[in-house]
């Protein structure tokens, strides 16, 4: 078998494995849909309240589109970051990361603060209260 054929067969096998993993993830998301819906529930006036930050867990990360998930994962690594920092981590343009981070902030997954001219995004680690 030539190196090209060997590489081609490896890539085909890899694609099949990724498709299989995606099907499994879709099944997990469907099974936990109610849990995710409750977590993302908004208040009656359709705005997120001050305390309605959604701490991204594995299930909510899986429910995010890939482009947003990539931003959240980069922010987990960096803890706090500007859009420029995120763009260096994800290898995407700064404007793309800025738009993604602002969208995640509106959705309640991230918080942001301004320090001088720079805007920093971060994931607030909310403590679960024991009831």
pLDDT at 46 exceeding the cut of 70:
no
User: What secondary structure letter does DSSP report for 115?
Assistant: E
Query: Which pLDDT value is given to residue 33?
Result: 61
Per-residue pLDDT tens over the stretch 72-105: 989 989 989 999 999 999 999 999 999 999 999 9
Per DSSP, the three-state class of 125 is coil
Tokens at 91, concatenated = 């290898």
Query: Which pLDDT value is given to residue 128?
Result: 46
Q: Predicted confidence band at 124 (pLDDT cuts at 50, 70, 90)?
A: confident
CA angle 16, 17, 18 (to 5 degrees): 90
Q: What percent of the chain has pLDDT over 70?
A: 71
Tokens at 74, concatenated = 């980069």
- Measure CA of the first residue to CA of the last residue in the chain; give whole Å: 63
Residue with tokens 């024991």: 130
Q: CB under 8 Å to 109, separation ≥6 — which residues?
A: 53, 54, 56, 60, 64, 72, 123
Domain 32-122 part of CATH 3.50.30.40? no
Domain regions of the chain by residue span: 32-122
pLDDT at 9 exceeding the cut of 70:
yes
Per-residue pLDDT tens over the stretch 21-45: 887 777 776 666 655 555 555 444 4
């Amino acid at each position: 078998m030539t190196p090209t054929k060997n590489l081609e067969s490896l890539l085909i096998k890899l694609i099949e494995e990724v498709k299989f993993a995606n099907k499994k993830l879709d099944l997990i998301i469907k099974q936990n849909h109610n849990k995710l819906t409750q977590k993302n529930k908004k208040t009656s006036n359709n705005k997120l309240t001050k305390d309605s930050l959604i701490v991204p867990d594995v299930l909510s990360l899986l429910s995010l589109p890939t482009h947003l998930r990539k931003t959240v994962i980069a922010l987990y690594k960096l803890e706090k970051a500007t859009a420029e920092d995120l763009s260096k981590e994800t290898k995407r343009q700064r404007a793309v990361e800025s738009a993604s981070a602002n969208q995640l902030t509106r959705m309640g997954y991230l918080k942001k603060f301004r320090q001088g001219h720079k805007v920093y995004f971060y994931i607030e680690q909310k403590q679960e209260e024991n009831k």
